[in-house]
């Protein structure tokens, strides 16, 4: 019998008891990928040989009586923005087509140490710039709930792989919502840890002060198990926090919010949000009240400027970071026929290698950093960022965690917003403030919108290095929702209409 619909925690327990081997489990997931991924397009590259070698190694260690971690032998899908030695890493771009990194990222090192089996690399918006995974140079990923709709972005491949039961665990990265927004629209769980809580070594940079890798799964507990596996200090990352990892697994199991104050952020919870999103959000608040929490309203007035400030800071840092893709050292090279100089080859390569959205953001960022405009644009945006941090600090004096809907709408149709950048950017209006302040953020599913029957996400935000608080609230809410419905939300996903 196939085990692909079990949670990672259940799979880890079955592996530990010898009810299934990691090789068997890995093969079951590759079979599922072969069955459905022509329709979903969650993966860009599969590493069947490497995955089965990892699985064999875990099975051998377990047979020898070696003590292994709770998710050793469990398969995982890896966003194609994190390096894995010898495995293609494209960041969803033609610019890096064919590049095989000579080293593992910090996250991959941790995954291998934990015995997690990496199935392959998932599709994404090019260089993590997008909210729909339509900006990938290799074609869009489709939402398993409705194949005509987006799976969110930039990490739509990772979230779709979970919803399609192609993997029980996944890794994403979150610069302005790229873990949480895909989780919201695919009915899965995604966490952006505190900035510096998970190593950024080997994460191909988009915006260095905002990028953060994090765990994705189908349950809060599974996400916590993966979080503990990948978190911790890495001396190779100068922004890595050298302090104990929050006890997120224990928090996810606690299922108790009695006496906690939960702050609803007025600026990102009302006007502009789809009616069904607000309905499911308010129902979830009521469940938390019934579980013993106190709901308070908080105001964070500078959140109104977060989107504008983000789209100055992130493109500015992207302009600097993406300058390294110059056709000289790695990736594709166009026009090098012996008759052109380096500058012309570089120009031709960047024209061909970068997609439209990446070019747009490089141009925006270069302009914002240019002489005479730096203080007016980039400098002002950094001042707004400070004000947003202060808003959070003030709010956390009134509440233990803050909450809002994760995304203003459910999943929209593929192509619906691709020609309207501003409409696309607005998808991250509720998630961006978390990145600007460097705090933790989680999205978990809180039901289906009555208008379209598609998943709605509930966002929980916690103070710096107190990620355990959002797991405590998330685990409690998930249990209350499952009890109310009599089933998990992900179990309601329609059967995929494989094309």
Is there a contact between 76 and 26 (Cβ–Cβ < 8 Å)?
no
Question: Looking at residue 1, what is its pLDDT?
Answer: 52
Q: What pLDDT digit, counting tens, does each position of 12-60 carry?
A: 999 999 999 999 999 999 999 999 999 999 999 999 999 999 999 999 9
Residue 335 lies in a domain: no
Tokens encoding 198:
């998970």
Q: What are phi and psi of 294, to 5 degrees?
A: -110, 130
Tokens encoding 162:
């979970």
- 269 classed as catalytic: no
Question: What domain range is 204 assigned to?
Answer: 8-303+386-492
Task: Work out how many domains the chain is built from and give that number.
Answer: 1
Which string of b and e fits 333-371 if b means at least 16 CB within 10 Å? bbeeeeeeeeeebbbbbbeebbbebbeebbebbbebbee
Percent of the chain with pLDDT over 70: 99
For the chain, the distance separating the N- and C-terminal CA atoms, rounded to the nearest angstrom, is 24
> Whose structure tokens read 């596996």?
229
Residue 240 lies in a domain: yes
Looking at the chain, the number of H-run helices and the number of E-run strands are 16, 11
Residue 377 lies in a domain: no
Residue 346 lies in a domain: no
> Which stretches of 136-256 are assigned E, i.e. beta strand?
169-173, 189-192, 213-217
Q: What is the mean pLDDT of the chain?
A: 96
Question: In angstroms, rounded to a whole number, what is the distance separating the alpha carbons of residues 168 and 14?
Answer: 14
Cα–Cα distances in Å, from 89 out to 142, 175, 485? 21, 19, 41
Tokens encoding 102:
């000579």
Residue 168 lies in a domain: yes
> Which stretches of 176-260 are assigned E, i.e. beta strand?
189-192, 213-217
Kindly name the residue from 79, 110, 121, 417 that is annotated as catalytic: 79
- Taking alpha carbons only, the member of 20, 467, 480 closest to residue 248 is 467
Confidence of residue 499 (pLDDT cuts 50, 70, 90): low
SS3 16: helix
Question: Looking at residue 329, what is its pLDDT?
Answer: 82
Q: What pLDDT digit, counting tens, does each position of 173-227 carry?
A: 999 999 999 999 999 999 999 999 999 999 999 999 999 999 999 999 999 999 9
Residue 3 lies in a domain: no
Cα radius of gyration rounded to whole Å, the chain: 21
Q: What pLDDT digit, counting tens, does each position of 376-415 carry?
A: 999 999 999 999 999 999 999 999 999 999 999 999 999 9
Cα–Cα distances in Å, from 192 out to 41, 98, 131? 24, 29, 15
Cα–Cα distances in Å, from 382 out to 209, 218, 306, 377, 390? 11, 35, 10, 9, 13
Residue 299 lies in a domain: yes
Question: Looking at residue 82, what is its pLDDT?
Answer: 98
184 burial (CB, 10 Å; 0-12 / 13-18 / 19+) is buried
Residue 413 lies in a domain: yes
Q: What are phi and psi of 185, to 5 degrees?
A: -85, -10
- 178 classed as catalytic: yes
Confidence of residue 76 (pLDDT cuts 50, 70, 90): very high
> Which stretches of 398-479 are assigned E, i.e. beta strand?
401-405, 440-448, 455-462
243 contacts: CB under 8 Å, gap ≥ 6? 233, 465
DSSP state for residue 434 in the 8-state scheme: H
Question: Looking at residue 169, what is its pLDDT?
Answer: 99
Kindly name the residue from 93, 178, 269, 327 that is annotated as catalytic: 178
* Least trusted range by pLDDT, from 79-83, 376-380, 449-453: 376-380
Confidence of residue 498 (pLDDT cuts 50, 70, 90): low
Is there a contact between 125 and 172 (Cβ–Cβ < 8 Å)?
no
- 389 classed as catalytic: no
SS3 64: coil
Q: Is the pLDDT of residue 351 over 70?
A: yes
Largest CA distance in the chain: 73
Kindly name the residue from 22, 105, 132, 154 that is annotated as catalytic: 154
**Which CATH number is 65's domain given?**
3.90.1300.10
pTM above 0.85, yes or no: yes
Cβ atoms within 10 Å of 94's Cβ, excluding its own: 18
Question: Looking at residue 355, what is its pLDDT?
Answer: 95
Torsion of CA 264, 265, 271, 272, to 10 degrees: -110
- Taking alpha carbons only, the member of 227, 192, 190, 215 closest to residue 433 is 192
Cα–Cα distances in Å, from 322 out to 64, 96, 345, 362? 47, 12, 16, 8
């Amino acid at each position: 019998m196939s085990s692909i619909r079990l949670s990672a925690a259940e799979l880890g327990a079955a592996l530990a008891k010898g009810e299934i081997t990691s090789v068997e489990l890995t093969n079951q997931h590759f079979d599922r990928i072969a069955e459905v991924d022509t329709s979903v397009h969650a993966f860009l590259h599969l590493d069947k040989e490497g995955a089965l070698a990892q699985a064999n190694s875990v099975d051998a260690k377990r047979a020898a009586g070696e003590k292994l971690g709770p998710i050793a032998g469990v398969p995982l899908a890896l966003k194609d923005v994190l390096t894995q030695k010898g495995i293609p890493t494209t960041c969803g771009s033609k610019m890096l087509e064919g590049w095989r990194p000579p080293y593992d990222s910090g996250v991959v090192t941790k995954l291998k140490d934990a015995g997690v089996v990496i199935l392959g690399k998932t599709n994404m918006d090019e260089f993590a710039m997008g909210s729909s995974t339509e900006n990938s140079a290799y074609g869009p990923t489709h939402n398993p709930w409705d194949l005509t709709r987006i799976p969110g972005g930039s990490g739509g491949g990772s979230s779709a792989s979970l919803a399609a039961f192609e993997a029980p665990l996944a890794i994403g990265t979150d610069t302005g919502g790229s873990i949480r927004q895909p989780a919201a629209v695919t009915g899965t769980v995604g966490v952006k840890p505190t900035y510096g809580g998970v190593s950024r070594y080997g994460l191909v940079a988009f915006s260095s002060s905002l990028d953060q890798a994090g765990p994705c799964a189908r349950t809060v507990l599974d996400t916590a198990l993966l979080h503990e596996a990948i978190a911790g200090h890495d001396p190779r990352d100068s922004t890595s926090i050298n302090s104990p990892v929050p006890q997120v697994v224990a928090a996810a199991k606690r299922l108790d919010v009695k006496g906690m104050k939960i702050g609803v952020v007025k600026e990102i919870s009302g006007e502009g949000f789809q009616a069904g999103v607000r309905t499911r959000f308010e129902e979830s608040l009521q469940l938390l009240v019934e579980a013993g929490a106190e709901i308070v309203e908080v105001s964070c007035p500078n959140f109104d400027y977060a989107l504008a400030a983000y789209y100055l800071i992130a493109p500015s840092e992207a302009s600097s970071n993406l300058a390294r893709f110059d056709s000289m050292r790695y990736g594709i090279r166009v026009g090098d026929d012996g008759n052109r100089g380096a500058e012309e080859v570089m120009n031709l390569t960047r024209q061909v290698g970068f997609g439209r959205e990446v070019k747009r953001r490089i141009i925006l960022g270069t302009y914002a950093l240019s002489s005479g405009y730096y203080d007016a644009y980039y400098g002002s945006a950094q001042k707004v960022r400070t004000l947003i941090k202060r808003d959070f600090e003030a709010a956390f004096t009134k509440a233990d965690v803050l909450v809002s809907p994760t995304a203003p709408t459910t999943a929209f149709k593929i192509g619906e917003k691709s020609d309207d950048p501003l409409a696309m950017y607005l998808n991250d209006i509720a998630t961006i403030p978390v990145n600007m302040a460097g705090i933790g953020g989680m999205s978990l599913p809180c039901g289906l919108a009555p208008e379209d029957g598609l998943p709605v996400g509930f966002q929980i935000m916690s103070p710096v290095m107190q990620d355990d608080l959002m797991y405590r609230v998330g685990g409690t809410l998930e249990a209350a929702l499952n009890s109310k419905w009599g089933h998990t939300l992900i179990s309601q996903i329609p059967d995929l209409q494989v094309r």
